[in-house]
Structure 1
Amino acid sequence: MTTRVLLLNAAIALWRNMAPAGGSRPPQWLSTHPDPASRLRDCRRARRPWFR
């Protein structure tokens, strides 16, 4: 596996754990940071080409 895939796997594990800890959040468009669910989805999409 490449370093990028390993980093994406680590990011996915991190955001999977962070999502429940977030509590109530404002809409993403009002926030200064992306929603953890969005980050998780983006990481999974970025990893997809290596697992086809």
Structure 2
Amino acid sequence: MTVYLTDETYFSLVDAIRALRPDPLTEEVDRDEVVTLLGNVGDLWPVTIKPDAER
């Protein structure tokens, strides 16, 4: 499925992803940070957070 975002949302998402920094101990970006970023900046959410009636 192709999803088209507005240019503003798309480039805000790109900038936010580029700004993520890995944890100094694990050297990995926290998964929850990525999920939150996708939701808050791109309004992209997994279907599992929808109420059962809406799935």
- TM-score, length-normalised on structure 1? 0.34
Structure 1 or 2, whichever has the larger Rg, is 2
- TM-score, length-normalised on structure 2? 0.33
Name the structure with the higher helix share.
1
